Structure 1
Amino acid sequence: MSLSHLIHTHPLIDNHAHAILSHSHATDYASYPFEQITSEAQGPALHNAHRSLPLLRAINDLAGLYGCPDVVQGDHRAEDRWEKLLAARAECVKTEAGYEELVRRCLHGTQVLLLDDLLPGHVQEYTWHDRFTPSQTKRIVRIEVLAGGIIDEMKTGSNFTREEKEDAFSSFAKSFADAIQGAIADAAVVGFKSVICYRTGLDVGNPDEASVMEAFVRTASMTGTCRVEDKSLNDWILLRTLDLLKQHRLQHEEETPKPVQLHTGLGDADINLLTSNPAHLQPVIARYPEVAFVLLHSAYPYTREAGYLACVYDNVYLDLGEVFPMVSRDAQQAILRESLEIVPTSRLLWSTDGHYFPETFWLANRQFRLVLDEVLTEYVRREDLSLLQAMTAAADILFHNSNRLYGLNLSPDPVMAGSTAITANMVATSDTTSATSGVPWLAKLAKLNVKFVWVQWLDYTATTRVRMFPVREFLRLAHQQRRLGIARANLRMIQTDAVAPGSSCAGQFYLQPDLATLAPNLAFGPVAAAGGGRHPSASATVMTFWRGEDGVPLEGCPRTTLQRITRLLQTEHGLDVLCGCEIEVVLMRFDSVYNVYVPAATNHSWSQMTRETRPLVPLLEEIADTLASLDIELQQFHAESSPGQFEFVLPPSSPLQAIDTLLRARAAIVHVAEQHGLRATLHPRPYTSAAGTAAHTHISISKTTPDMTLSSSISTATEQSFLAGLLAHLPSVMAFTLSQEESYARVQAGIWAGGEWVAWGTQNRETPLRKISPAHWEVKTVDGLANMYLALAALLAAGYLGLKHSLPLTIQDCQGDSSVDREKYGITTPLPNTLQASLAALQADVDLHTLLGKEFVQDYIATKRTEREMLLAMPDSERRLWLIERY
């Protein structure tokens, strides 16, 4: 992973933001001027914002977000461009569904929001925001509003008498302390916020009780809603909050008190610029070392003063928010550089200060990622930071520092982190030549000179489906300016485009490109020069995740399912998984006289170079060169035992990456063979005289240590329970790994294909699970007709269930013939010998299909049964030809 890739794809924690307007007020610009997305000005001064660099830049960016490039084309007056932008925005948000889709796009890449939800206005409840982020929204309690609400409840409609003052203030003080302590105990609250900077300034004094009581009485005597803005009372409210947090810390030594955020620096005209300097807070910070202080908004224009405090006091953090997008790009860079001058990167936090409009979140996140990339990349180039140090700093600022400070205990969401489809937070432009800085996938498109992108997904029949896009239209899809909808009926579609019973003509799901998988396609022209590999095409391919109408991961998406099971093993059991895949293919020639495929070599045997094998060596080497040109380095390749059969061994990697690589490698092998007039087929038994063709899959598990390094030290109990789960659920799993009736021709004894019984053995090739080394197995009951995402997901799910239920390993290490010595090794269960039998086992395996998804498993079973009926209706020779042509 590159530094740019990490910065532009790492999930982020927004440590300070505000609620979003309800749809009914989304275009109420009279009450909520849209110009305030980049300006703190109000009233007449706000009209000048149209000529400010931050707003002019925002217009360019938002034109891409709304899909209206004409807004920035031509030499229009700023005011005219603004009106055109507002019209485009109105079109996006005219329906509630459209508005929520805009919110979803603007919050994409944000794992959790920490909301100060007491900003006045027609805003959504804080829980409403949960639907747009993987983790539930948390609250930041604004202490002045909390105090004001208590005072409002105490009002009697008349001023307090002198005799009532002491009792009234005592009652208020108790209610305020109870409210703060309640917030400390509330799991939904992760911190507190003070706007004393706005009200009376950061020069907090030590007011005496008499002055505080007088201030309280004056405040309580106000007409209308209470606003706490008397200095003595404001200072008391902040100091009392700090006292309560300090007290909690001393009483609960094991707990870290919830932080206090303070507005500093940048604000509207209501602020006293001189007393917004965080340097005024130094005595208070020094007085409360038990309390963590977060200085908000980069303290601009006092960034260096805030940085000094965050450097010399262990309990001070500097938030980098609000200046993105409120100042120019140059100013943003300068502020980040000033923040990094002396502040440890472990004390920097990110926030958007997003409020009212979802675009404030989008602009802030997008611009911050770009500037963070530019600044850290320069430091790496100058060798001030190593690449690893820069990557660590970026991840800390975006996620880990806030995760620790607020006690969130989150792991970066793997779907977000792995997909890199956070395009709204990258660059909103359709210009591939000017938008490549800091955006690796855009740079890759430009470097490859790509004109077309194939958007691909693998369905339940292991058929690769493709939609092809001109690159400019693909950029709209990648930036989520449009969606690619697929009819839900496709979930039950077979290769002939017929659909299984139970499908619906209504509804659709959406394909989200996983930009990490963007790879060059291979040209379909003449054969490349010998030894040079295939020439690249003007097209590229990209795999996808499936999303529902609401944008959340769709149950049954093969890649999401595999990613989710992998995550469960990591988060619940601390296990990392590596997967290695073997590709076995049979090279065949088409005999047009008899309308059959015949092996490309018949004088052929395992790991030998025979008379007919040697002429194929240039082809094999071209395949290896081609894979290398696609960044796929083979570990080895050799002749297998069946006529015309060869094996290519891929390197191990994480499960999702392993299958992505496997599919790219298979496609390249098939393509190169086609250029030489040959068919490279994955058919499990393209002729009956051979042992058959498999897709052996290696799985190894290792422990993640606290410092995130890997250790091969897996306890015996963990290894045995994982293996016991694999064995217990293997008959059900085979519905995914041997997914066609033809596949079961290999479930035989004596052909080194895994035998006929549920068993395992160390280096025993006649068992379906061959143990190679501790916590490393080869699964032999897999072939090339399977959807390999689902096959591996089912295997890992079986192992996970073994761990979840602490299954004992009752089957012994088989060192003989599993079909002969069954009693000796505790072998009792036969492998399914038909697809019907494995589908029935899957149907009855409640634990497995509950884990994988009940609705998905029903779709899968219906699809495979319909496919099976279609294929078995063909004569044997026709079915063999049909499968060889497709697999």
Structure 2
Amino acid sequence: MESLDSLRHLIQNHPLIDNHAHNLLRCDVAADYDNYPLESITSEAHGRALENARTALPLLRAVNQLGELYGTSCANWDDVLAAHTRWVQEDYDGLIRRSLQGTHTLLLDDLLSDEDVESYEWHDQFTSSPTKRIVRIEAVAASLLREIMSAERKPGESVWSTFRAKFLDALDHAMEDPAVVGFKSVICYRTGLDVDPYSPDEDLLTASLHRTLDSGTRKSGYRVEEKPLNDWLVQQTLKLITFRKRAGVVKPLQFHTGLGDNDINLVKANPAYLQPLIIQYPDAPIVLLHSAYPYTRDAGYLACVYPNVYLDLGEVFPMVSREAEEKILRESLEITPTNRLLWSTDGHFFPETFWLANKQFRQALEIVLVDYVQNGDYNITQAKTVAADILFQNSNKLYGLKQTAQYTPGTVQVLSQLSATQVSRVSDPLDAFLQTNPDIEYIWMQWIDYTATTRVRILPLREFIRIARKDRRIGITLAVQWMLQDDTLTPEGTTTGQFYMEPDLSSLYRNGSLAASAAPSATVMSFWQSEEGKPLDGCPRTSLQKIVGTLHRQHSIDILCGFEIEVVFLKPIISQQTGKVTGYAPATKNHSWSQMTADIRKMIPILDEINRVLASVDIHLQQFHAESAPGQFEFILPPVNPLAAIDTLIATRQVITAVAERHGLRATLHPRPFPNGAGSAAHAHVSITPAAREDAFLAGVLKHYPSIVAFTLSQDASYERVRSGIWSGSEWVAWGFQNREAPVRKIGPGHWEFKSVDGVANPYLAVAALLAGGLIGLEENLSLAMKECTGKICTTQATFEGIFYDWLIIFFTVDASDLTSAQRSRLGITTPLPQSLAQSMTALSENEKLQSVLGKELVQNYLSVKRAESKRIQGMVDEERRLWLLERY
């Protein structure tokens, strides 16, 4: 049975389509408060009236919330102004990126008459798919009038006939433009929503046009606010929309309704005035914008009884109080079909308008839908459908966007209100986590260093809440960038400087049985931040996140990642004289791949316990089974986005280790714990969507593979697996469809398994390196010259029962090492895999392109650590080295 947490998670994390917004200001004017007062983020007032906004509840609420966006607490409006200014001056793109997080597509009304805003295409870098345009018909009309009055007309040609032809032509062009997905009218501001559904005669329109021209000049422009003319613009737009819809082109007309500044006639802002027009044009999709506040029920009624009407739930967030937002949502849901409800921010000028609107809408939607579920109005499945439809699917269908939402159910990230007796002002995911885990006493803050060692700081809950609220920071020495497993530093290392741990609250999970102590605890993964609170380039999680973001923004490619965890369970050998562990032996002996021997059956209770513990922390295995080596088992995790996939990988390994320890066993990720047995890997599955450019992506990975394995096979012991005939991926850089003896196995379109990854690698850096290779392939538009290693094809001729045949014979070979040099050459397989860590590090140190994508400083520090680590480990005798690794990995 689905839980309320799954509903909350969907509401807080499902991508959204913002079906009505406006352009952002250019960076150079984003802090010009004289011309663009920041108070407008929560108020439609202007001039002197806007000065009063600082005492209004919506703005005061925004002050309390914006500290989360800025990364610093804000006690008053001056703090907000200072923080906004600082972000604009230091990292305006970063502020926008934070504000638009979770936004899949923006539909921009980009015809605001302001030269200080960015173009609609500029916004593409911050969203999952390209920005689309909403054409404002009054702005088109005003632009045409200025153009007409600035040009000479032919003798006998009237202003009206010229304007009429040009306006209809402009509508036609907009209909043909794939970047345009709809139209908008602000007739509500100009003459009211009592639009005449029938066109007046030409004389009346001509007179109306001339009055419009008399009210302006070519220099000042012409404000279109004559009722006959404004009504005609709407009528012609609806006629064209109706005509084109019959031809399969659907582009709705949006109407500003309800809430607006003092330029609006509040009485005629009621969408009920549109009823005759809606009836006249039943085939034209009409969107009532801005919740029609305060006429939400009227708009909801229209969307209920007329199939061509939709209600947009925007602008009131964050312009009204929290209670009003919830009330507006409830009124919208009273009778309105939920497939007729759309979401928008009406975001404009400032990034904060988008962030506040999305945050407050998700909060209100969660409160309302959870309440309806708890009272039996919806079941959870129905509520989740409602949320996904409002946030994404309804706009996707109405505007014909043909987008796919990349939503992955996973670790709960939700918002719920804490009671007065609980801790206040906690970040949203932590808020929800503490509600469902009220007994938690400690939080383990973790990060993974360059040696793939898990480092942890344990904090009492009260102190962690202070960190999550950004009331304090926890500093860690920068020496970790040069630190070995025993805390010694490389020669290049320094003890100067520090970074600050930034908890990624989306990775929070309850430790369950991880801790030996009875005190309940939870774990969270951390980013590294600089003194200034910016992401630190040396952070493995940040490095991965940046590359995933670049693939998404610059190439519109989304990544899914999943892992196969191979683990060998060992029984410690204890000396009778000293009582110390002197070695390890496999936990099972009669053991083989995917079988159920007597020895393997003895492990079932342990495997079952691992699965149950994982499920208790919301990690759900797809399957698990015996692998080839004695004591070896494989656990397969589901695909999610790369950062979440690796967080889940680390959590799963920790659960496996903890459960094994409770049963007196050691679970190891050692690449080859026994010289004569099969090796252990951590095969990474990576898929790209869309797969249209998969060849360029794969070509980049293959080109840089010898350098990439410095991250994926990061110990000298890792190369004990680089052998032919042991199902480890062969000894050559090659790929093949469903070829398990190639380092890259293609599984389907845009989906590969990378076999040259094992459990002693830092997984964030390993996947970052693989994706970096793919990114280079896309940027350089590489062609895939290497053919797949799946076999060779030859033909022969024969006669059978008097009939002559050409026979096609396919000889399969799965290992490039089995081919002759000439056969490999014909396939383009010319590069052997590195046979040692030294070889792969040499390749990496010479690979300027891969270094530039991953970050040269990170790569140099990583190489420094791995060289020092290799020197230390290789100085041990064989058995000492093996035990040393078994006890750490």
TM-score by length of 2: 0.75
The CA deviation at 1:647 is: 3.7
Q: Which moved more, 1:871-880 or 1:358-367?
A: 871-880
In the alignment, the residues of structure 1 paired with residue 766 and residue 282 of structure 2 have an alpha-carbon distance, to the nearest angstrom, of 54
> Which range moves more in the overlay, 229-238 or 784-793?
784-793
Amino acid at match of 1:691: G
Pair 1:463 & 2:453 matched: yes
Q: Secondary structure at the match of 2:294?
A: coil
- Determine the C-alpha separation between the residues in 2 that align with 1:444 and 1:96: 33
Residue equivalent to 1:86: 78
Aligned residue in 2 for 1:871: 870
Q: In structure 1, what is the equivalent of residue 225 of structure 2?
A: 229
Paired position in structure 1 for 2:182: 191
Name the residue aligned to 2:133: 139
CA contact (8 A) 2:791 2:813 kept: no
> Secondary structure at the residue paired with 2:158?
helix
CA contact (8 A) 2:625 2:635 kept: yes
Residue matched to 1:242: 238
Whole-Å Cα distance in 2 between the matches of residues 552 and 115 of structure 1? 34
Aligned to 1:530: none
Contact 2:290 2:315 in 1 (8 A): yes
1: CA distance between counterparts of 2:422 and 2:703? 54
1:541 aligns with 2:524: yes
> Could you report, residue by residue, the CA deviation over 1:732-761 in whole angstroms, capped at 9, with x for unpaired residues?
765454332222224456777677678999
- Contact conserved, 2:271 with 2:292, CA < 8 A, in 1? yes
1:212 offset after TM fit, Å?
1.4
| Equivalent position amino acid for 1:833 in 2 | Q
From 505, 528, 537, the counterpart of 1:515: 505
Q: 2: distance between equivalents of 1:130 and 1:487?
A: 38
Change beyond 3 A, Cα 1:364–1:749: closer
1:207 maps to which of 173, 197, 200 = 200
Partner of 2:434: 445
Q: Distance in 2 between matches of 1:647 and 1:735?
A: 26
Residue 152 of structure 1 pairs with residue 138 of structure 2: no
Question: What letter matches 2:264 in structure 1?
Answer: I
Q: What is residue 88 of structure 2 aligned with on the other side?
A: 96
The CA deviation at 1:134 is 4.2
Change in CA separation of 1:577 and 1:625 when aligned onto 2, cut-off 3 Å = closer
Alpha-carbon contact 1:509-1:549 (below 8 Å) kept: no
Q: What CA distance in whole angstroms lies between the structure 2 residues aligned with 1:141 and 1:500? A: 62
How far the C-alpha of 1:291 sits from its partner, in A, is: 3.3
Displacement of 1:394: 1.1
Deviation of the 1:197 alpha carbon: 0.8
Q: Look up the match of 1:605.
A: 589
- What does 1:701-712 align with in structure 2 at a 5 Å threshold? none
For residues 262 and 215 of structure 2, what CA distance do their matches in structure 1 show? Answer: 23
CA contact (8 A) 2:21 2:345 kept: yes
1:181: how far off? 3.6
- Offset, 1:26: 5.4
| Equivalent in the alignment of 1:713 | none
Q: Deviations over 1:190-246 (max 9, x none)?
A: 332211111111111232211111121122122444222111121122223334444
The equivalent residue for 2:653 is 666
Give the Å deviation of 1:797: 9.6
CA–CA separation in structure 2 for the residues paired with 1:380 and 1:242: 39
How far, CA to CA, are the matches of 2:528 and 2:556 in structure 1? 21
**1:542 maps to amino acid:** M
Identity level (%): 45
Sort the Cα spacing of 1:290 and 1:738 in 2 relative to 1 into closer, same or farther, 3 A: same
Q: Relative to structure 1, is the Cα distance of residues 114 and 455 closer, same or farther in structure 2, using a 3 angstrom cutoff?
A: farther
Structure 1 residues without counterparts, runs of 5 or longer: 72-83, 528-533, 706-717
Residue correspondence of structure 1 range 543-582 to structure 2 within 5 A? 559-560=544-545, 579-582=563-566
| Aligned-pair CA distance for 1:542 | 2.6
Deviations 1:133-158 (A, max 9, x none): 4444443332223322332344479x
Moved more, 580-589 or 194-203: 580-589
Tell me the SS of whatever aligns to 1:2.
helix
Mapped pair 1:167 → 2:161: no
* Aligned position for 2:758: 783
Q: 1:81 corresponds to which residue?
A: none
The correspondence for 2:9, drawn from 5, 18, 41, is 5
Verify: 1:217 aligned to 2:210, yes or no.
yes
Asked whether the equivalents of residues 142 and 224 of structure 2 are also in contact (C-alpha less than 8 Å), the reply is yes
Letter in 1 for 2:82: A
SS of residue in 1 equivalent to 2:760? coil
Alignment correspondent of 1:284? 277
CA contact 1:15–1:402 (8 Å) conserved in 2: yes
Secondary structure of 1:876's match? coil
Deviations along 1:387-421, whole A, 9 cap, x unmatched? 2232222122112222333344444356xx68989
Q: CA deviation at 1:598?
A: 2.6
1:733-812 mapped onto 2 (5 Å cutoff): 734-748=709-723, 782-789=757-764, 807-811=787-791
* Amino acid in structure 2 at the alignment position of 1:201: G
Distance 1:284 1:15, change over 3 A: same
Residue aligned with 2:310, SS:
strand
Change (3 A) 1:777 1:152: closer
Q: Give matches, 1:570-719, under 5 Å.
A: 579-588=563-572, 598-601=582-585, 605-607=589-591, 627=614, 629-631=616-618, 645=631, 647=633, 649-650=635-636, 652-654=638-640, 656=642, 659-671=646-658, 680-685=667-672, 690-691=676-677, 693-695=679-681, 697=683
Task: Give the match for residue 433 of structure 1.
Answer: 422
Give unpaired runs (5+ residues) of structure 2.
793-809
Q: Secondary structure at the match of 2:89?
A: helix
2:291 touches 2:311 (CA, 8 Å); kept in 1?
yes
Q: 1:553 to 1:316 in 2, by over 3 A?
A: farther
Contact 1:485 1:509 in 2 (8 A): yes
Cα distance change of structure 1 residues 673 and 484 upon mapping to structure 2, 3 Å threshold: same
Report the Cα distance in structure 2 between the residues aligned to 1:112 and 1:743, rounded to whole angstroms. 43
Q: Deviations over 1:702-725 (max 9, x none)?
A: 9999xxxxxxxxxxxx99999999
Q: Check the 8 A contact 2:309/2:340 in 1, yes or no.
A: yes
Deviation at 1:297, TM superposition (A): 1.0
Cα distance in 2, alignment partners of residues 275 and 550 from structure 1: 50
Matches within 5 A, 1:258-273: 259-273=252-266
CA drift of 1:117 comes to: 3.6
Matched, 1:394 2:387: yes
Q: CA deviation at 1:7?
A: 0.7
CA distance in 2, matches of 1:811, 1:842: 31
> What amino acid maps onto 1:140 in structure 2?
I
* Partners of 2:13 and 2:701 in 1: CA distance: 34
CA positional deviation for 1:262: 0.9
**TM-score of the superposed pair, with normalisation by structure 1:** 0.75
Give the letter aligned to residue 580 of structure 1.
E
C-alpha change, 1:793 and 1:807, in structure 2 (3 Å) is: farther
Structure 1 pair 545/347, CA: closer, same or farther in 2 (3 Å)? farther
Alignment of 1:395-414 (within 5 A): 395-412=388-405
Q: Tell me, yes or no, if the aligned pair for 1:754 and 1:781 is still in contact at 8 Å.
A: yes
* Cα contact 2:698–2:784 (8 A) shared by 1: no
Are the structure 2 counterparts of residues 613 and 394 from structure 1 closer, same or farther at C-alpha, using a change threshold of 3 Å? closer
Distance 1:655 1:596, change over 3 A: farther
Q: CA RMSD in A?
A: 5.8
Residue of structure 2 in register with 1:834 after alignment: 836
Residue deviations 1:148-184, cap 9 Å, x none? 2332344479xx99x9996122222333334434444
